Structure 1
């Protein structure tokens, strides 16, 4: 699901074609073109080797057995070409004019915003031999700097803002810990709570295992939450329609394109309808998603050598090059470049640190408690137990990466059934129901986690981008297809991802405001430092104060979220949470059952809308 091309090797860790899959049959060539009435001898009959059937992402998306045909169109609409077409057809707005003078903007003008995931920065960092922070600056220079996108195109448009999704991921971690705590209290959600930030996993559950849906976290992913915040706040503060804000997300995974297409992630779900607003088309919170590899294609299409921008990454963009964000409090939170991210520590793994933060949050409630780790059958399965100072087990969590392991988890989540065998009435069958022993499970579709996403830059791509990486020749004397080379490359990307935690703050790396302040209860974080006192608390000046868990100032995050809610006058329950649903397959149904319109009209209708859904 997360792979661009599904090969026979990939099928071990991604969704294998099921019985209903018709694509392998359709792609087999017809080799018997002989005349049935012609008499021939055996020596004239030549064995013909049929071309192996291949299954591409387009094939899978065109089949309603796993992924609907409409999704193929929705994904195809999101590419680096779409980014270039949008920039070429719409001038970028000078936000300073809107903030300072409240000027009206042209109907075709847009505010361009990009949000970048840390896994994309890690992929770029490994490719160019940079630190994760400098890779982020490289991306920002290309998207917003004077030597990047604005050099070309019909309108010389570029991005007004480039945000780090880590900031909203902090909000996801805090809210995720609250969700688990609520579940443990017995007041809501069925145990265990399971991560829903991976769209490949969500798509798999919605279509094949609806009994797992009650377990999925209702929390939006960092991509979706960033999109909602950006569109809602900018439209409110600048007085413009959400359609005039164009949001690009740089993600490690193709499935994130499907997530952006869900109708739940449009302004229809959070914006009050205006009777005078004749535009009834829902506006996506994230207009386009491109992967790390597509980012390279974006630069190549504009004939920009990314390596030439590396000298500019010694320092961040200057304040003069950055346009002011119209809300100081949110600006301070989103553009705090000094802050180290706790989700990029080795113990937090490569997918955002959801499980790690929840364990830290629970451990802070039990002084003297410890965490015990048990590795599963492979590196992508790990169980964690929180144990009290007296040795009493308090809760159990787990991490499952890769579809091979996910299938085992799904089996464990099946309801317990009593055995019919004599003398075994109370025995569980084949591990059924064992998954309910967990309080929380972090699930990601890709083996190795998000740094190994299907859209990440591959080893074979590197030689065409830069001849040397960290002084080593790449792509010349290396067997790029060997498992060992691939493994070493994945380790290099992981190393770059975790380098963010070890990098020191650099001079001049502050938000555009450069001052600490308090706004509607929100405390600025310019001087934020982790100073735990051993009880899950943090002292700002050594005298006591705000609560910090896992390096996150949870009070500031909560105040920021409330400030956001107050700005747009929408409850957090609407802004931060979503829903999931069972999806019925079209396989085996007649055309009349599937749609009265027919496939072509149905796909065209969905593709014509900005919003979508699985």
Structure 2
């Protein structure tokens, strides 16, 4: 099982646990350790043990399993591992089988409505590997899940419009309060990556006030499905089984958070998360070839699409910015207009014009974008920080001093920082490179092997092709979102909007015992 970069031993300098290096205890087999052996490294990066007689034996790559990681408590707890194992395609199969039995035995009260929500990153990963377009992929997945017995298939690009809008409004509120020295913790850090959230809660609780309170698209869709859509269907939340198809295993942990659990109906907003790789396994298990699968027409419900002027069919629309959701790009443009009256286009953001300055970072997973206003200089400074090497450098900037108080900037609230907003993602290259994404068939070790830059580039290209073919539909221009704000939430800044679209974060008590003391 491959999680995000937080728990995958693929690049040892990409994650540093809070108290110690990641150590896997080695069983003592009782063999004689006095043998004169050496280790040789070949040109391909392979390691060989050279015995005293000159015989070489290739060594297997070190691997860290989920059980190994439990020793240091730095990544995932045993309780969380149980929650993760309870979410897979096999759990979906059980619900489908239970529905079949309920129907056969005439027990309609035991029947559950099954809803699938597909992330655009998962869709792009499947499209790139099987040489399909994202539109073809979405239509074929719709047919596949419907054939299985699922009732509705949605697109989390739709719920991401809520996440983008709410994040942008929260940033503007924080900026204005901070600027007037009346509060407003800056920088605001993106909240859509559960691997990053888990890491912050367990190792850097002082950073939690900086994290955007907006729910991720997965969890916004969970609220939308269980609360709004369930009400329109006339069923209670526990009678809906909601499955999210996501690019990383950490999304399983996110769905399992207590904050997203309904105590009244004993159900979660997202009942099960299956990764892109697990969907690929389902193709094999069901004897389906996605390249030959029929296509179903896309319904407009909870799908980010527009109508084709040619034939009236639905065309997927994209989101600006990175394949991790485009938070930096959208919030930057939104803030530039709301705070300084500067209208920016996508070209301004991408080309660095009209006062926009682009700065490459110290590596490909870090970059800066700055807005300069005449007579005022730089007024907005945003950054994208992907991978735990960059995250480590980021969080050190906000470390609480020994005195216990966060450093102030210009007398205002919040930690001293050169940035106003940071798009933070745990995986190098972002969500398109999530641990649950598809891998090329020829990678070493097959399952779980690292994807090449070329393979990732193809997935990135597939993701961006949606915006190229269907255009970019800004969240505020989505009429369905405006309608839902009124019909579902009673307005944009109501208590229900806060309940359905925002969440809280919790510092996790640290286990200071060393992993080396654990008995195996």
Same fold (TM over 0.5): yes
Partner Cα distance (1:260, 1:57) in 2: 18
How much has 1:235 moved relative to structure 2?
2.9
Partner Cα distance (1:557, 1:491) in 2: 31
How much has 1:552 moved relative to structure 2?
3.6
Gapped runs of 5+ residues in structure 1? 37-42, 95-103, 150-157, 274-278, 323-330, 419-425, 465-474, 506-528, 531-549, 591-614
Q: Is this contact kept in 1: 2:305–2:316, CA < 8 A?
A: no
* Corresponding position of 2:462: 496
* Corresponding position of 1:372: 357
What does residue range 35-434 of structure 1 map to in structure 2 within 5 Å? 54-61=63-70, 63-91=72-100, 106-144=108-146, 148-149=147-148, 158-186=149-177, 188-268=183-263, 273=264, 282-309=266-293, 312-313=294-295, 316=297, 334=303, 336-338=305-307, 341-343=317-319, 345=320, 348-365=321-338, 366-367=341-342, 370-390=355-375, 392-415=377-400
Q: Is this contact kept in 1: 2:135–2:316, CA < 8 A?
A: no
1:564 aligns with 2:484: no
Seen in structure 2, the aligned counterparts of structure 1 residues 413 and 301 have a Cα distance that, compared at 3 Å, is: same
Partner Cα distance (1:134, 1:62) in 2: 44
Structure 1 stretch displaced more, 121-130 or 180-189: 180-189
Partner Cα distance (1:333, 1:86) in 2: 23
Seen in structure 2, the aligned counterparts of structure 1 residues 88 and 494 have a Cα distance that, compared at 3 Å, is: same
Q: Is this contact kept in 1: 2:357–2:372, CA < 8 A?
A: yes
Seen in structure 2, the aligned counterparts of structure 1 residues 211 and 34 have a Cα distance that, compared at 3 Å, is: same
1:30 aligns with 2:28: yes
Q: Is this contact kept in 2: 1:4–1:455, CA < 8 A?
A: no
Structure 1 stretch displaced more, 362-371 or 200-209: 362-371
Seen in structure 2, the aligned counterparts of structure 1 residues 434 and 384 have a Cα distance that, compared at 3 Å, is: farther
* Corresponding position of 1:586: 511
Q: Is this contact kept in 1: 2:162–2:501, CA < 8 A?
A: no
Which string of whole-angstrom CA distances, capped at 9 and with x for unpartnered residues, describes residues 307-340 of structure 1? 220xx33x625xxxx7xxxxxxxx6554645465
3-state DSSP of counterpart to 1:383: strand
Partner Cα distance (2:501, 2:240) in 1: 20
1:451 aligns with 2:453: no
TM-score computed with the length of structure 1 as normaliser: 0.67
- Name the count of aligned residue pairs: 461
How much has 1:17 moved relative to structure 2?
4.8
Partner Cα distance (1:573, 1:7) in 2: 35
* Corresponding position of 1:468: none
Structure 1 moving runs of 4+ over 6 Å: 46-52, 461-464
Partner Cα distance (1:308, 1:177) in 2: 41
* Corresponding position of 2:48: none
Gapped runs of 5+ residues in structure 2? 35-51, 308-314, 344-353, 516-520
Partner Cα distance (1:92, 1:250) in 2: 25
Partner Cα distance (2:59, 2:460) in 1: 40
Partner Cα distance (1:184, 1:492) in 2: 37
Q: CA RMSD in A?
A: 3.8
Seen in structure 2, the aligned counterparts of structure 1 residues 435 and 381 have a Cα distance that, compared at 3 Å, is: farther
Which string of whole-angstrom CA distances, capped at 9 and with x for unpartnered residues, describes residues 572-598 of structure 1? 1111111101001334299xxxxxxxx
Which string of whole-angstrom CA distances, capped at 9 and with x for unpartnered residues, describes residues 247-273 of structure 1? 0000000100000000111223xxxx5
How much has 1:34 moved relative to structure 2?
6.4
How much has 1:355 moved relative to structure 2?
0.9
Q: Is this contact kept in 2: 1:127–1:462, CA < 8 A?
A: no
2:499 to 574, 584, 599: 574
3-state DSSP of counterpart to 1:379: coil
